[in-house]
Structure 1
């Protein structure tokens, strides 16, 4: 078994290895990058991991905003292959995969029953919404659950929110053949106190029909927007809301051109839903240009901000209630009066200004008014015609993802840009070449069950452990055979995602090597498979190891080392506890002796006197008397038992007859050696 002390000390030995990061560093304010001179989607590959990840062009490093969290993006587009990736603050890879069907959206970290999970959607996105599933991966990157919508429908890509109650709220699109003329004529079914009961709100625009100038068909196909709340454990449908049950088609801002089965009319376009502590739902509708508050009891529209049936008086010259194509609406954490969202400021048919921004608005329910709280705008006036995200961090900072542009930016509370990076040349913005539906930051602990990867390439060793957030250094082990005893050689810090090590001349190494992943405390977490370095070995197989080399031959798997270390730590804790108890006992004795002297033994003398009855002769003491009495009683009982077995049952025996006495006498004489 290897030496624990040797292993821990190995982490702190002087660095002997010529090691460096094999990662290609991010660009920094590169004009050539933005001009597309390195390509439409600049990526990097690795020796030890079969993944392709974006190479960032950093304007303001995210290391300036390093709060211990990671960057979560899901690149895809006309030239970018779809993937979901986690990067650290420097832009180095942590984890990435393209192992899913179709396209991927909406990579986040969410909590379910006290555990953190990666969640993302994957499926067919060709219709402007999604037909697919949501996937939940645990901290080992293993599939925990694939979540679909209820009622034989498919989960949409736009929104998937896990609630504290263990349910999930997700968006759904349903293709329906309907009476278009009837839905244009019907009044909206919403809060009667504000919208349809005849109560006039000062400053509210009148309800205007959204019917296009050309004559639409009386019947046709639509994409109806729904959201569902389901039980994640059972898949049971708990609540469902359908837009056409509560809104008139006349409120839509999307022109009705066709409504065929091949191309249904997407009149509402739900793109986010969030359940609040009151049990109601906050919904963003892109083609209605509004954010609506839906009753969790009966689905009524309690109020909406923006849109043709806006419920609030505008107090900021239109900046609080007029927006176009918005996404990702949420309550500010801990508030029920502040709402945030990504305001695209345009859609595929209309825009006011080519500048998207994050927006926070304040609602006053006493006078039903809305006020602009803050705009968060990029200095380069990034304009995203679709998608986008707004995230409020625990420290109050705001992270914007620019949807169909590969841009991610972090602002302080006052709207100043702190960190900013591109994964698409700026000249190609709005092209759709590189997109990411939402770009966000989360804390995450990744603990893969795979082994670290080790490869020999062009004379150097390359090592990585895809998905591990805890690896802080590497321990190099060597042996003369692939299944032999591996010994410690040297250790060095991790550098980037993929670390490169080139052997120096003074390092004596055997033919087979492994790499062990060390955490920040120097504990061994996992070990790679062996790799032969061939003629680069400098120690012959018959040369013995130095006595200080640690043993690793008894490792049955990659995790035994960590289990042994945990056992050692437990034993050390037990030793400390015993030592503390002993020290406490000695301290108590000394304190008592200091203050009481011989008086501290008085209880012992009292006990002695009680036992001996104040008699120096033990045989006359109470203890002896009790002992003797008990012994006498026991002897009497044994005697009675013997009597009952022998003398008390004389029928078991008979008296000796004359012949018997003669035989007994003869036997006795023979035994004694006398005459017959």
Structure 2
């Protein structure tokens, strides 16, 4: 009994809290996708589980595109560095590759949206300005549709984009039909301003179907069930004019010159490099998101798995690799491994931040981790329960971190619940404080009632006493300047005042009383109509 009593405090501390408990979060006791609801905003955001935290982490915003079976309303999303919601939008539906990019000196939020068949996409690329309005929609040329995997804006004002096209192919060398069908992996470089295609490359012009590691299964027999033998999933361009692409199903990174000729291959069959790290720099498989840097270094997200049943590694890794093009050698400089040893069998990303850290999104698993460049874990967060990581019920194709200034043109939101008033402003990044203002009418004579610091996405005021019949909130920046006003809230009715307010008159009251009288008489008539025949029937039976 003493042992049981002694263990009670520890047991109690492990019980699920109504507010939060990290252990039970990842065990799934709060659901696959624990979320936060708001009073002044009608969408729910993920409740992030912070497993590791360091002041050395970059303070920038986090860019995600949560989707999956447990995400009711998918779309692009911005969180702050601590996991609080900054912006989310559902009107675009599923989004991929959501992040800030610079075009002609202006910052934009870019992403793909369209139809996703689970492996490829058919859609367009969107560029939102700082007010979250669509500034441009970019599409490939030659009647092709944009794929979900890549939309990279170069310093020269061009865009790199991945594309899939179904074409006939001889699959007899891999046990398929001679007159078969494949998904060809393409990419284009477009001039964003003119829409002109400056460069196009096709995987089928260099890679044979027999080089693929992807299982053929029963695919490739018809155009409607083509075999994806290559699977292009990232495109980058160096200052030297070379293009660098990742092929998930070839297990290769390929360098392509401006003339369209392949310069070299890293990984896969017949790699052109000698691996000086005992295979660790070139044995990546089913990988995603390669980026090439000066001095011939590159990053790769090494998935190490095709699906949850077919894997070639025990866990996924972010890789930082040094190439020596003179001696054609590859060396692993660092690898980035989740503290939970996540095996993400699809998607994922590696990003070097301005502060030198490495930020890794775990793709199919709802998590992201920030590392020191050397590989030490700094900040580790889950935006879904780890118990469901293998199912992919919550995922984000990539995850990025960076700076963003959002200035929405819509008004802040305000709502009342019981004795509190709640305020928020979806997408606004510069709000530091909120001021609650009150008035006895809506003619504009509002006076300040209370000021609070902005905390998280939604802040609140306690309504002490009788501040006024009508309330509104003013959003203030760091200098105390007003960035915007919410709509006016009728504090007694708990409703927003839409347009000029007109108080209720005696004529309105008389009319309402007349309507209520009619409704009462009608209700009474229906009761009599339904009850009286049954009473008459009972009297008849007595005789």
Q: Is the structural similarity TM-score above 0.5?
A: yes
Residues 1:130 and 2:91 aligned together? no
Q: Say whether 1:37 aligns with 2:29.
A: yes
Match of 1:530 in 2: 488
Q: Give SS of 2:210's match.
A: helix
Q: CA–CA distance in 2 between the matches of 1:409 and 1:421?
A: 6
Offset at 1:287?
A: 0.3
Instruction: Describe the SS at the equivalent of 2:225.
Output: coil
1:234-253 residue CA offsets vs partner (Å, 9 max, x unmatched): 21111111110122222111
Q: How many angstroms apart in 1 are the aligned matches of 2:85 and 2:351? A: 22
Aligned residue number for residue 238 of structure 1:
198
Matched, 1:444 2:404: yes
Query: What do residues 372-409 of structure 1 show as CA deviations (whole Å, max 9, x unaligned)?
Result: 11111122211001111000111211111111000110
Of 437, 449, 452, which residue of structure 2 is paired with 1:492?
A: 452
SS of residue in 1 equivalent to 2:442: coil
Deviation at 1:25, TM superposition (A): 11
- On the 8 A contact 1:387/1:438 being kept in 2, the answer is yes
CA contact (8 A) 1:27 1:56 kept: no
Question: Could you give the per-residue CA deviations for residues 267-297 of structure 1, whole angstroms, max 9, x where no partner exists?
Answer: 100000011111111100000000000112x
Question: Paired residues, what number?
Answer: 474
Q: Within 1, Cα distance between the matches of 2:493 and 2:327? A: 82
SS at match of 1:387: coil
Matches within 5 A, 1:614-653: none
Q: Aligned to 1:321, which of 263, 282, 293?
A: 282
Residue 399 of structure 1: which of 359, 367, 379 is its match?
A: 359
Aligned positions of 1:184-583 closer than 5 A = 211-212=173-174, 215-257=175-217, 258-259=219-220, 260-296=222-258, 298-332=259-293, 335-348=294-307, 350-505=310-465, 509-534=467-492
Higher share in strand: 2
Mapped to 2, the partners of 1:369 and 1:523 lie a distance apart of: 57
Alpha carbons 2:57, 2:378 under 8 Å: kept: no
Aligned counterpart, 1:121? 112
Alpha-carbon offset, residue 264 of structure 1: 0.5
* Aligned 1:98-109 pairs, distance under 5 A: 98-101=90-93, 103-109=94-100
Aligned-residue CA RMSD (Å): 1.8
Give the structure with the higher percent helix: 1
Deviation at 1:65, TM superposition (A): 4.2
1:457-487: CA deviations, max 9, x gaps?
A: 2232110111111000012222111234222
Deviation at 1:369, TM superposition (A): 1.0
Give the structure 1 partner of residue 146 of structure 2.
155
In structure 1, the residue matched to 2:156 is: 165
Q: Which of 50, 55, 68 is 2:47 aligned to? A: 55
Deviation of 1:27 (Å): 4.3
The gaps in structure 2 that reach 5 residues or longer are: 1-16, 495-543
Bigger Cα displacement from structure 2, 65-74 vs 384-393: 65-74
- Between the aligned partners of 2:210 and 2:436, the Cα distance in structure 1 is 69
Bigger Rg, structure 1 or 2: 1
Q: Which residue of 1 aligns with 2:10?
A: none
**Is contact 2:246–2:252 with CA below 8 Å preserved after alignment?**
yes
Aligned in 2, Cα 1:462/1:265: closer, same or farther, shift over 3 Å?
Answer: same
**Structure 1 residues 121 and 321: CA distance shift in structure 2, 3 A:** same
In 2, distance between residues paired with 1:393 and 1:411? 10
Relative contact order higher in (CA < 8 Å, ≥ 6 apart):
1
Q: SS of the counterpart of 1:330?
A: strand
Partner Cα distance (2:118, 2:472) in 1: 49
Distance of aligned partners of 1:86 and 1:54 in 2 relative to their CA distance in 1, 3 Å threshold: same
Provide the C-alpha distance between the structure 2 equivalents of 1:73 and 1:147, rounded to a whole number of angstroms. 21
1:414 Cα offset (Å): 2.0
2:66 maps to 75
- SS of 1:347's partner is strand
CA contact (8 A) 2:58 2:353 kept: no
In 2, the alpha carbon distance for the partners of 1:491 and 1:318 equals: 60
CA deviations on 1:164-208 (whole Å, 9 max, x unpaired) are 111100000001123345xxxxxxxxxxxxxxxxxxxxxxxxxxx
How high is the TM-score relative to the length of structure 1?
0.68
CA distance in 2, matches of 1:224, 1:446: 38
Post-superposition Cα deviations, 1:535-574, rounded to whole Å, max 9, x if no partner, equal 89xxxxxxxxxxxxxxxxxxxxxxxxxxxxxxxxxxxxxx
Aligned to 2:537: none
Query: CA–CA distance in 2 between the matches of 1:341 and 1:535?
Result: 56
SS at match of 1:34: helix
- Of residues 111, 118, 121 in structure 1, which corresponds to 2:102? 111
**Inter-CA distance 129–27: structure 2 relative to 1 (3 Å threshold):** farther
The whole-number CA distance in structure 2 between the counterparts of 1:67 and 1:137 is 24
SS at match of 1:534: coil
